[in-house]
Amino acid sequence: MYDAPQTQREVDLTQTKIAARNVQVYYGDTHAIKDVDVNIEDKTVTAFIGPSGCGKSTFLRCLNRMNDTIDVCRVEGDILIDGEDIYDKRVDPVQLRAKVGMVFQKPNPFPKSIYDNVAYGPRIHGLAKNKADLDDIVERALRRGAIWDEVKDRLQSPGTGLSGGQQQRLCIARAVATEPEVLLMDEPWSALDPIATAQVEELIDELRQNYSVVIVTHSMQQAARVSQKTAFFHLGNLVEFGETGQIFTNPEDPRTESYITGRIG
């Protein structure tokens, strides 16, 4: 576990990585995200919690402009990363996504070998100088994804042939291989066993030293374990946002309290 001195941690936490102002998202006529204002800090794990269909994934996808790929989706408001508006016309969403990586809710390995799956991002962005370098990157990513031991003997077999949980960890490895500054993880443990879950949580904690991590989770314990900040969404609204400890022990909003104690959702 990360054990930095309290003082240093305070300093880091004050830096805002992502600032969202007055964000609205529409799918056609459906108003999926309403008036969301949030500051996501650097070198922090932020957890999004909330009942199913409340817009967690939708908001997460706004942060790397993945919603651009959905025809009916419309995003309004400002989202700033390092002070730069990512919805500005001059911003190239492709570059943005290299900086803001994402692990999807459903595992989606490419129909390629395990090796090529992980090497995909580094190859596109030219991160490796030579083959040995690339081999190193792939191995490190797979180790961080807690899947190296299981696949090290069959790197050339197809990624689609792995089990659901292995595919999920492969996708995590694939995302960290490109060394993003922000990592968005949409329930990456939905198919993981407790051991793998613990390994992924460890990875997240490790990533926090350098990056900003945003996770979506349905498990309160997990949010409490790995995150420093928690945001509670309900019906498209950001109901409450604050220190994880604060949210779980002393929520301000009655809706947060009833969700955490299991009465809505």
Partner 1 sequence: MPLFWLLVILLAMAAGGYVLGRARAIRSAGGDSRKLHSLPVYYGSNVALKVFVPAFLVILLWLLIQPVYVASVVSGMLPDGAIPDNSSRGLVMAEVRRAADGLDNAVAAGLMTENQARNARADFQDVTQRLRDAGQIVTSDVTQPVLRSAQRLRVMESTGSMIMAGVAILLALGGLAWGLRDSQLDFRARNVVERGVMVLLIAAASIAIFTTIGIVFSLVFNTYEFFTLYRWQDFFFGTNWAPSFSGRGGSSDLGVVPLLWGTFYISIVALSVAVPVGLFSAIYLSEYATSRLRSVAKPLLEILAGIPTIVYGLFALLTVGPLLMRVFGDEGLGWMQAGTAVMTAGLVMGIMLIPFVSSLSDDIINAVPQAMRDGSYGLGATKSETIRQVVLPAALPGIVGAILLAASRAIGETMIVVLGAGAAARLDLNPFEAMTTVTAKIVSQLTGDADFASPEALVAFALGMTLFVLTLGLNVFALYIVRKYREQYD
Q: Which does 95 bind (CB under 5 to 8 A by kind): ligand ATP, partner 1, Mg ion, none?
A: partner 1
Question: Which residue bears the tokens 């070198």?
Answer: 43
Which range binds ligand ATP by CB under 6 A, 10-18, 54-62, 88-96, 164-172?
A: 54-62
Binding partner 1 (rule: CB under 8 A), the pick from 74, 112, 143, 218 is 112
Residue written as tokens 């030579």? 130
CA distance 180 to 99: 5
**Residue 71 contacts partner 1 per CB under 8 A:** yes
Quick one: how far is CA 2 from the chain centroid? Answer: 19
Residues touching partner 1, count (CB under 8 A): 28
Please classify residue 95 by burial: count the beta carbons closer than 10 Å to its beta carbon, then call 0-12 exposed, 13-18 middle and 19+ buried. Answer: exposed
Number of residues in contact with Mg ion under rule CB under 5 A:
2
What does 213 bind: ligand ATP, partner 1, Mg ion, none (CB cut-off 5 to 8 Å by kind)?
none
**Tokens 């604060």 map to which residue?**
246
Strand order in the sheet with 16-27: 84-85, 73-81, 16-27, 30-41, 237-243, 229-234, 45-49, 212-216, 182-186, 100-103
The pair of structure tokens assigned to 95 is 């570059």
Give yes or no for residue 55 binding ligand ATP (CB under 6 A). yes
Residue 4, binding choice from Mg ion, ligand ATP, partner 1, none, Cβ under 5 to 8 Å by partner class:
none
**Binding residues vs Mg ion (CB under 5 A):** 57, 105
**Binding residues vs ligand ATP (CB under 6 A):** 27, 30, 32, 52-58, 70, 72, 105
**Binding residues vs partner 1 (CB under 8 A):** 64, 66, 69, 71, 94-99, 101-102, 104, 106, 108-112, 120-121, 124-125, 160, 171, 174-175, 178
